[in-house]
Amino acid sequence: MLSFAERRRLVIAIVITLIAVLASMASGNGGPKASTGDISGGLVSSTTLTPDGPASPAFLPATESTTAPQIITVNVPAPPTGTVLTGTASYIRWPQTMGLEPCATPHALIGAVITVTNLNNGRQIECNNVSIEALRDGSVILIHTDVFLELADLVDAPIPVEINF
């Protein structure tokens, strides 16, 4: 059995040893040194660790400047000219018309100029298709409020129309 003095010396030696090991690990002097060359098993390392910074990753290709992909041109067939549809028209107010006379129908391409004829009184207008979404109320076309007033009064909506594009 160890005496009290011997146990105290042993504890002090263990504490000093632990402090020395931790200090050497924190300073980087106690870690393994990496180098190129033969590693156990005959494998050769392709990356090296430098004391100045981390090694370059081995799985990344060499830095190359990539070019942007080319723009692909997609041709969309135009709808047949002279298409005539009959149905009902209603109105909607778009917040900004930007000089257009907007209307919306899923039957023509966006930007198409559509001739709308009121079948009740024969009045005609031309408008620009700005949306091809399906219409909720079963109408063939929705026309901007200010343009609709050239065909009929708002209280007459929906009105029977013929559209031509």
pLDDT at 116 over 90: yes
Return d(Cα 132, Cα 110) in angstroms, integer. 7
Three-state SS string over the chain comes to: CCCHHHHHHHHHHHHHHHHHHHHHHHHCCCCCCCCCCEECCCEECCCCCECCECCCCCCCCCCCCCCCCCCCCCCCCCCCCCCEEEEEEEEECCCCCCCCCEEECCCCCCCCEEEEEECCCCCEEEEEEEECCCCCCCCCEEEEHHHHHHHCCHHHCCEEEEEEC
Q: What is the pLDDT of residue 88?
A: 92
Peptide bond into 102 cis (omega under 30): no
Q: Is 37 left (phi over 0), alpha (psi -120 to 50) or beta?
A: left
Q: What is the pLDDT of residue 136?
A: 77
Categorize the per-residue pLDDT at 24 as very low, low, confident or very high, splitting at 50, 70 and 90: confident
More confident residue, 139 or 58: 139
Token pair 């590693």 is found at 39
What mean pLDDT do residues 122-151 have? 88
What is the set of domains in the chain, with CATH numbers? 84-164 (2.40.40.10)
Phi, psi (deg, nearest 5) at residue 65:
-80, 125
Q: What is the pLDDT of residues 60-95, one digit of tens each?
A: 666 666 676 777 777 766 666 677 888 999 898 888
Return d(Cα 153, Cα 149) in angstroms, integer. 6
Q: What is the pLDDT of residues 30-47, one digit of tens each?
A: 555 555 444 445 444 455
Q: What is the pLDDT of residue 115?
A: 93
**HSE, side-chain direction, 13 A CA sphere, residue 123:** 12
pTM of the model: 0.50
Q: What is the pLDDT of residue 119?
A: 92
pLDDT at 2 over 90: no
Task: Decide if 103 contacts 143 (C-beta within 8 A).
Answer: yes
